[in-house]
A = this chain, B = another copy of it.
Protein backbone atom coordinates (compact mmCIF):
# COMPACT_ATOMS: atom_id res chain seq x y z
CA UNK A 1 0.00 0.00 0.00
CA UNK A 2 1.32 3.46 -0.81
CA UNK A 3 2.25 5.95 1.87
CA UNK A 4 -0.36 8.47 0.79
CA UNK A 5 -3.63 8.61 2.71
CA UNK A 6 -6.70 10.15 1.09
CA UNK A 7 -9.79 10.13 3.28
CA UNK A 8 -12.93 8.56 1.78
CA UNK A 9 -15.08 11.62 2.45
CA UNK A 10 -12.85 13.63 0.11
CA UNK A 11 -14.35 11.77 -2.84
CA UNK A 12 -17.88 11.08 -1.52
CA UNK A 13 -19.90 8.01 -2.44
CA UNK A 14 -20.38 8.71 -6.15
CA UNK A 15 -16.91 10.11 -6.66
CA UNK A 16 -15.48 7.02 -5.00
CA UNK A 17 -17.36 4.59 -7.28
CA UNK A 18 -16.24 6.55 -10.34
CA UNK A 19 -12.67 6.65 -9.08
CA UNK A 20 -12.45 2.95 -8.22
CA UNK A 21 -14.04 1.71 -11.43
CA UNK A 22 -12.30 4.06 -13.88
CA UNK A 23 -9.80 1.43 -15.07
CA UNK A 24 -12.39 -1.27 -15.71
CA UNK A 25 -13.41 -2.11 -19.26
CA UNK A 26 -16.16 -4.50 -20.38
CA UNK A 27 -15.29 -7.38 -22.66
CA UNK A 28 -18.30 -9.65 -23.05
CA UNK A 29 -20.62 -8.98 -25.95
CA UNK A 30 -23.73 -9.40 -23.79
CA UNK A 31 -22.63 -6.50 -21.57
CA UNK A 32 -24.38 -3.40 -22.95
CA UNK A 33 -23.94 -1.05 -19.99
CA UNK A 34 -21.87 -1.52 -16.83
CA UNK A 35 -21.46 0.96 -13.97
CA UNK A 36 -23.11 4.39 -14.21
CA UNK A 37 -26.91 4.18 -14.27
CA UNK A 38 -29.62 2.87 -11.92
CA UNK A 39 -29.01 -0.60 -13.33
CA UNK A 40 -26.59 -2.40 -15.62
CA UNK A 41 -27.94 -3.64 -18.95
CA UNK A 42 -27.22 -7.05 -20.50
CA UNK A 43 -28.47 -8.30 -23.87
CA UNK A 44 -31.21 -10.88 -23.42
CA UNK A 45 -32.76 -11.41 -26.82
CA UNK A 46 -33.18 -9.47 -30.06
CA UNK A 47 -35.87 -7.26 -28.50
CA UNK A 48 -35.19 -7.40 -24.77
CA UNK A 49 -32.47 -6.63 -22.27
CA UNK A 50 -31.85 -7.63 -18.71
CA UNK A 51 -31.46 -5.00 -15.98
CA UNK A 52 -29.34 -5.60 -12.86
CA UNK A 53 -28.92 -3.44 -9.79
CA UNK A 54 -27.49 -4.02 -6.33
CA UNK A 55 -27.69 -2.32 -2.94
CA UNK A 56 -26.19 -2.81 0.47
CA UNK A 57 -27.98 -1.79 3.66
CA UNK A 58 -26.05 -1.46 6.91
CA UNK A 59 -27.54 -1.26 10.38
CA UNK A 60 -26.68 2.09 11.98
CA UNK A 61 -25.93 3.64 8.57
CA UNK A 62 -29.04 2.99 6.46
CA UNK A 63 -31.53 1.88 9.08
CA UNK A 64 -32.13 1.93 12.80
CA UNK A 65 -33.87 -1.12 14.22
CA UNK A 66 -35.13 0.93 17.13
CA UNK A 67 -37.94 2.28 14.98
CA UNK A 68 -37.67 0.16 11.85
CA UNK A 69 -39.43 -3.17 12.46
CA UNK A 70 -37.57 -6.04 10.76
CA UNK A 71 -40.59 -6.94 8.66
CA UNK A 72 -40.69 -3.39 7.29
CA UNK A 73 -36.96 -3.46 6.71
CA UNK A 74 -37.32 -6.60 4.60
CA UNK A 75 -40.15 -5.04 2.61
CA UNK A 76 -38.30 -1.76 2.11
CA UNK A 77 -35.09 -3.49 1.03
CA UNK A 78 -36.96 -5.25 -1.78
CA UNK A 79 -39.05 -2.18 -2.73
CA UNK A 80 -36.02 0.11 -3.04
CA UNK A 81 -34.26 -2.40 -5.28
CA UNK A 82 -37.34 -2.85 -7.45
CA UNK A 83 -37.37 0.95 -7.70
CA UNK A 84 -33.95 0.85 -9.41
CA UNK A 85 -35.42 -1.36 -12.13
CA UNK A 86 -38.42 1.01 -12.46
CA UNK A 87 -35.90 3.82 -12.97
CA UNK A 88 -34.79 2.05 -16.16
CA UNK A 89 -38.44 1.69 -17.27
CA UNK A 90 -38.24 -2.06 -16.64
CA UNK A 91 -40.00 -4.79 -14.70
CA UNK A 92 -38.22 -6.49 -11.77
CA UNK A 93 -38.41 -10.29 -11.79
CA UNK A 94 -35.82 -11.82 -9.46
CA UNK A 95 -33.77 -10.89 -6.41
CA UNK A 96 -30.97 -12.38 -4.37
CA UNK A 97 -30.77 -11.48 -0.68
CA UNK A 98 -27.61 -11.91 1.38
CA UNK A 99 -27.55 -11.21 5.08
CA UNK A 100 -24.84 -10.98 7.71
CA UNK A 101 -26.11 -11.06 11.28
CA UNK A 102 -24.59 -11.05 14.72
CA UNK A 103 -25.61 -13.59 17.34
CA UNK A 104 -27.74 -10.94 19.01
CA UNK A 105 -30.47 -11.82 16.48
CA UNK A 106 -32.51 -14.93 17.17
CA UNK A 107 -33.97 -17.02 14.33
CA UNK A 108 -37.37 -15.44 15.07
CA UNK A 109 -36.02 -11.96 14.17
CA UNK A 110 -34.80 -13.22 10.81
CA UNK A 111 -38.18 -14.88 10.24
CA UNK A 112 -39.73 -11.39 10.59
CA UNK A 113 -37.21 -9.98 8.12
CA UNK A 114 -37.90 -12.72 5.57
CA UNK A 115 -41.62 -12.37 6.11
CA UNK A 116 -41.28 -8.75 4.96
CA UNK A 117 -39.09 -9.82 2.04
CA UNK A 118 -41.66 -12.44 1.05
CA UNK A 119 -44.54 -9.95 1.30
CA UNK A 120 -42.68 -7.58 -1.03
CA UNK A 121 -41.75 -10.43 -3.41
CA UNK A 122 -45.42 -11.33 -3.70
CA UNK A 123 -46.51 -7.69 -4.09
CA UNK A 124 -43.95 -6.99 -6.82
CA UNK A 125 -44.15 -10.44 -8.42
CA UNK A 126 -40.43 -10.97 -7.82
CA UNK A 127 -38.76 -14.35 -7.23
CA UNK A 128 -36.15 -14.85 -4.50
CA UNK A 129 -33.54 -16.92 -6.35
CA UNK A 130 -30.53 -16.96 -4.04
CA UNK A 131 -28.44 -15.38 -1.36
CA UNK A 132 -25.84 -15.93 1.27
CA UNK A 133 -26.12 -16.06 5.04
CA UNK A 134 -23.23 -15.31 7.33
CA UNK A 135 -22.44 -14.14 10.81
CA UNK A 136 -21.31 -10.58 11.38
CA UNK A 137 -19.31 -9.05 14.19
CA UNK A 138 -21.72 -6.14 14.55
CA UNK A 139 -25.36 -5.78 13.65
CA UNK A 140 -27.22 -6.62 10.50
CA UNK A 141 -26.10 -6.12 6.89
CA UNK A 142 -28.34 -6.79 3.90
CA UNK A 143 -27.17 -7.01 0.32
CA UNK A 144 -29.74 -7.31 -2.43
CA UNK A 145 -29.29 -7.76 -6.15
CA UNK A 146 -32.33 -7.33 -8.35
CA UNK A 147 -32.77 -8.58 -11.91
CA UNK A 148 -35.39 -7.30 -14.30
CA UNK A 149 -36.05 -6.81 -17.96
CA UNK A 150 -37.35 -4.33 -20.47
CA UNK A 151 -37.85 -4.08 -24.20
CA UNK A 152 -34.83 -2.46 -25.79
CA UNK A 153 -36.81 0.43 -27.24
CA UNK A 154 -38.26 1.54 -23.88
CA UNK A 155 -35.15 1.25 -21.66
CA UNK A 156 -34.58 4.67 -20.15
CA UNK A 157 -31.08 5.81 -19.23
CA UNK A 158 -29.92 8.84 -17.29
CA UNK A 159 -28.25 10.16 -20.41
CA UNK A 160 -31.14 11.01 -22.74
CA UNK A 161 -32.50 14.35 -21.45
CA UNK A 162 -32.53 17.01 -24.18
CA UNK A 163 -32.90 20.79 -24.10
CA UNK A 164 -36.58 21.86 -23.82
CA UNK A 165 -37.64 18.47 -22.38
CA UNK A 166 -40.03 18.67 -19.44
CA UNK A 167 -38.90 17.49 -16.01
CA UNK A 168 -41.51 15.32 -14.29
CA UNK A 169 -41.75 13.74 -10.83
CA UNK A 170 -44.23 11.14 -9.63
CA UNK A 171 -46.19 11.26 -6.38
CA UNK A 172 -45.04 13.73 -3.75
CA UNK A 173 -41.69 14.40 -2.12
CA UNK A 174 -40.18 15.00 1.31
CA UNK A 175 -42.56 12.74 3.24
CA UNK A 176 -40.03 9.99 3.97
CA UNK A 177 -37.56 12.52 5.34
CA UNK A 178 -40.09 14.26 7.56
CA UNK A 179 -41.32 10.82 8.69
CA UNK A 180 -37.76 10.03 9.72
CA UNK A 181 -37.51 13.25 11.76
CA UNK A 182 -40.68 12.26 13.60
CA UNK A 183 -39.41 8.74 14.32
CA UNK A 184 -36.08 10.16 15.50
CA UNK A 185 -37.89 12.54 17.86
CA UNK A 186 -40.03 9.80 19.30
CA UNK A 187 -36.92 7.64 19.76
CA UNK A 188 -35.34 10.44 21.81
CA UNK A 189 -38.50 10.80 23.87
CA UNK A 190 -38.56 7.04 24.45
CA UNK A 191 -34.89 6.98 25.39
CA UNK A 192 -35.51 9.72 27.94
CA UNK A 193 -38.55 7.95 29.37
CA UNK A 194 -39.55 4.49 28.13
CA UNK A 195 -42.98 4.82 29.73
CA UNK A 196 -44.08 7.51 27.29
CA UNK A 197 -45.81 5.98 24.29
CA UNK A 198 -44.77 7.33 20.87
CA UNK A 199 -47.06 10.11 19.64
CA UNK A 200 -47.51 9.27 15.97
CA UNK A 201 -51.22 10.12 15.62
CA UNK A 202 -52.16 11.90 12.43
CA UNK A 203 -48.79 11.12 10.90
CA UNK A 204 -49.60 7.77 9.30
CA UNK A 205 -48.77 8.90 5.79
CA UNK A 206 -45.28 10.25 6.45
CA UNK A 207 -44.40 7.32 8.70
CA UNK A 208 -45.54 4.84 6.09
CA UNK A 209 -43.50 6.69 3.49
CA UNK A 210 -40.41 6.23 5.67
CA UNK A 211 -41.03 2.68 6.90
CA UNK A 212 -42.81 1.15 3.92
CA UNK A 213 -41.98 2.99 0.69
CA UNK A 214 -43.28 1.49 -2.53
CA UNK A 215 -41.54 1.17 -5.88
CA UNK A 216 -43.55 2.96 -8.57
CA UNK A 217 -44.22 -0.09 -10.71
CA UNK A 218 -47.63 1.46 -11.40
CA UNK A 219 -45.93 4.36 -13.20
CA UNK A 220 -44.06 1.99 -15.52
CA UNK A 221 -47.44 0.54 -16.51
CA UNK A 222 -49.00 4.04 -16.88
CA UNK A 223 -46.15 5.17 -19.12
CA UNK A 224 -46.62 2.10 -21.30
CA UNK A 225 -50.39 2.62 -21.48
CA UNK A 226 -49.94 6.32 -22.25
CA UNK A 227 -47.39 5.56 -24.95
CA UNK A 228 -44.76 7.74 -23.26
CA UNK A 229 -41.09 6.77 -23.29
CA UNK A 230 -39.19 9.17 -21.01
CA UNK A 231 -36.02 10.60 -22.53
CA UNK A 232 -34.21 10.00 -19.22
CA UNK A 233 -35.13 8.65 -15.79
CA UNK A 234 -33.75 8.06 -12.28
CA UNK A 235 -35.37 7.14 -8.98
CA UNK A 236 -35.33 9.57 -6.07
CA UNK A 237 -33.38 7.87 -3.32
CA UNK A 238 -31.04 10.70 -2.33
CA UNK A 239 -33.29 13.75 -2.64
CA UNK A 240 -34.63 15.60 -5.67
CA UNK A 241 -31.71 18.06 -5.97
CA UNK A 242 -29.12 15.29 -6.04
CA UNK A 243 -31.08 13.23 -8.59
CA UNK A 244 -31.76 16.22 -10.86
CA UNK A 245 -28.03 16.92 -10.89
CA UNK A 246 -27.30 13.26 -11.70
CA UNK A 247 -29.66 13.42 -14.69
CA UNK A 248 -28.25 16.74 -15.89
CA UNK A 249 -24.63 15.60 -15.49
CA UNK A 250 -25.27 12.28 -17.29
CA UNK A 251 -27.27 13.97 -20.06
CA UNK A 252 -24.85 16.93 -20.34
CA UNK A 253 -27.65 19.48 -19.96
CA UNK A 254 -28.81 22.15 -17.53
CA UNK A 255 -32.25 22.61 -16.00
CA UNK A 256 -34.65 24.96 -14.34
CA UNK A 257 -36.82 23.53 -11.55
CA UNK A 258 -39.67 25.55 -10.04
CA UNK A 259 -39.85 25.31 -6.27
CA UNK A 260 -43.58 25.93 -6.19
CA UNK A 261 -44.28 23.12 -8.65
CA UNK A 262 -42.62 20.45 -6.48
CA UNK A 263 -45.45 18.25 -5.13
CA UNK A 264 -45.57 18.05 -1.33
CA UNK A 265 -48.30 16.35 0.67
CA UNK A 266 -50.15 18.45 3.28
CA UNK A 267 -49.08 16.18 6.14
CA UNK A 268 -45.45 16.53 5.05
CA UNK A 269 -45.69 20.33 5.02
CA UNK A 270 -47.44 20.58 8.37
CA UNK A 271 -45.03 18.25 10.13
CA UNK A 272 -42.01 19.91 8.52
CA UNK A 273 -43.18 23.29 9.84
CA UNK A 274 -43.73 21.71 13.28
CA UNK A 275 -40.02 20.76 13.14
CA UNK A 276 -39.02 24.25 11.93
CA UNK A 277 -38.04 22.77 8.59
CA UNK A 278 -38.82 24.29 5.20
CA UNK A 279 -41.07 21.75 3.41
CA UNK A 280 -39.40 22.54 0.08
CA UNK A 281 -35.96 21.88 1.52
CA UNK A 282 -37.25 18.51 2.77
CA UNK A 283 -38.53 17.73 -0.72
CA UNK A 284 -35.34 18.89 -2.44
CA UNK A 285 -32.82 17.25 -0.12
CA UNK A 286 -34.67 14.76 2.05
CA UNK A 287 -34.28 11.54 0.11
CA UNK A 288 -35.78 8.05 0.40
CA UNK A 289 -38.99 8.97 -1.44
CA UNK A 290 -38.40 6.36 -4.17
CA UNK A 291 -40.52 8.36 -6.57
CA UNK A 292 -39.42 8.56 -10.19
CA UNK A 293 -37.84 11.63 -11.78
CA UNK A 294 -37.92 11.68 -15.56
CA UNK A 295 -37.83 13.91 -18.58
CA UNK A 296 -40.20 13.80 -21.54
CA UNK A 297 -40.28 15.45 -24.90
CA UNK A 298 -42.66 18.45 -24.97
CA UNK A 299 -44.65 16.64 -27.63
CA UNK A 300 -45.63 14.07 -24.99
CA UNK A 301 -47.00 16.70 -22.59
CA UNK A 302 -50.63 16.21 -23.59
CA UNK A 303 -50.38 12.51 -22.73
CA UNK A 304 -49.51 13.16 -19.07
CA UNK A 305 -51.38 16.43 -18.57
CA UNK A 306 -53.79 16.16 -15.65
CA UNK A 307 -52.44 12.76 -14.57
CA UNK A 308 -52.65 12.84 -10.75
CA UNK A 309 -49.47 10.76 -10.37
CA UNK A 310 -47.19 12.99 -12.43
CA UNK A 311 -46.18 16.63 -11.97
CA UNK A 312 -44.14 18.78 -14.34
CA UNK A 313 -41.65 20.66 -12.14
CA UNK A 314 -39.40 22.31 -14.70
CA UNK A 315 -37.57 21.96 -17.97
CA UNK A 316 -34.18 21.06 -19.39
CA UNK A 317 -31.88 23.84 -20.60
CA UNK A 318 -28.56 24.00 -22.36
CA UNK A 319 -25.64 22.82 -20.23
CA UNK A 320 -24.01 26.22 -20.26
CA UNK A 321 -27.03 27.68 -18.46
CA UNK A 322 -26.37 25.47 -15.42
CA UNK A 323 -28.87 23.77 -13.11
CA UNK A 324 -31.13 26.05 -11.08
CA UNK A 325 -34.23 26.04 -9.01
CA UNK A 326 -36.45 29.08 -8.99
CA UNK A 327 -37.90 29.90 -5.58
CA UNK A 328 -41.35 31.33 -4.88
CA UNK A 329 -39.94 34.87 -5.05
CA UNK A 330 -38.63 34.18 -8.55
CA UNK A 331 -34.96 34.02 -7.56
CA UNK A 332 -32.89 31.43 -9.41
CA UNK A 333 -30.59 29.51 -7.04
CA UNK A 334 -27.94 27.09 -8.24
CA UNK A 335 -28.82 23.48 -7.44
CA UNK A 336 -26.45 21.73 -5.05
CA UNK A 337 -26.73 18.11 -4.01
CA UNK A 338 -27.25 17.89 -0.30
CA UNK A 339 -28.44 14.32 -0.52
CA UNK A 340 -27.31 11.66 1.88
CA UNK A 341 -23.64 11.03 1.74
CA UNK A 342 -22.90 7.92 3.73
CA UNK A 343 -19.29 8.88 4.10
CA UNK A 344 -19.98 12.10 5.99
This chain: copies in complex: 2
Q: Are B139 and A137 in contact (CB under 8 A)?
A: yes
Q: Are B141 and A56 in contact (CB under 8 A)?
A: yes
Q: Are B7 and A145 in contact (CB under 8 A)?
A: no
Does B133 lie within 8 Å of A55, measured CB to CB? no
- Once the chains bind, are B134 and A34 in contact (CB under 8 Å)? no
- Across the interface, which residues of B come within 8 angstroms of A17, CB to CB? 131, 133
- A114-165 residues with Cβ-Cβ distance < 8 A to B are 114, 118, 121, 125-139, 141, 143, 145, 147, 149
A21: CB under 8 A from chain B?
yes
A105 CB → nearest B CB, Å = 7
- Chain B residues with CB under 8 A of A126: 28
Contact call A35/B138, Cβ cutoff below 8 A? no
Instruction: Knowing A16-B110, A133-B13, say if A143 contacts B56 (CB, 8 Å).
Output: yes
Known: A28-B93, A135-B343, A143-B54. A107 touches B34 (CB 8 A): no
Given contacts A1-B112, A137-B138, contact A8 B143 (CB under 8 A): no
Given A7-B106, A61-B135, A94-B42, A125-B20 contact (CB < 8 Å): no
A109 and B5 alpha carbons, distance in the complex (Å): 9
Q: Which residues of B contact A149 (CB under 8 A)?
A: 30
Q: How far is the CA of A143 from the CA of B34 in the complex (A)?
A: 17
A60 at interface (Cβ–Cβ under 8 A)?
yes
With contacts A1-B112, A107-B19, A118-B24 known, is A128 near B35, CB below 8 A? yes
Q: Is the CB–CB distance between B342 and A135 below 8 Å?
A: yes
Chain B's closest residue to A96 (CB) is B54
Q: Is the CB of B45 within 8 A of A45?
A: yes
A125 to B30, CA, bound (A): 12
Pick the residue among B52, B94, B98 that contacts A143 (CB under 8 A).
Answer: B98
Instruction: Tell whether, in the assembled complex, residue A60 and residue B137 are in contact, meaning their CB atoms are under 8 Å apart.
Output: yes
A128 and B24 contact, CB distance less than 8 A: yes
Q: Which residue, A23, A40, A61, A132, has most C-beta atoms of chain B within 10 A?
A: A132
Measured CB to CB, the nearest residue on chain B to A60 is B137
A31 CB to closest chain B CB, in angstroms? Answer: 5
A107 and B56: CB pair below 8 A?
no
Given the interface contacts A107-B11, A138-B138, does A26 sit within 8 Å of B127 by beta carbon?
Answer: yes
Chain B residue contacts of A107, Cβ below 8 A: 6-8, 10-11, 16, 19
Docked complex: A187-228 residues within 8 A CB-CB of B: none
Q: Point out the residues of chain B lying under 8 angstroms from A118, CB to CB.
A: 23-24
A24 to B116, CA, bound (A): 12
- Given contacts A61-B137, A129-B42, whether A54 and B342 have CB atoms under 8 Å apart is no
A residues touching B (Cβ–Cβ < 8 Å)? 1-2, 4-11, 13, 16-17, 19-21, 23-24, 26-28, 30-31, 33-35, 39-40, 42, 44-45, 50, 52-56, 58-62, 70, 93-94, 96, 98-101, 103, 105-112, 114, 118, 121, 125-139, 141, 143, 145, 147, 149, 342-343
Q: Which 3 A-B pairs have the closest CB atoms?
A: A143-B143, A40-B129, A6-B107
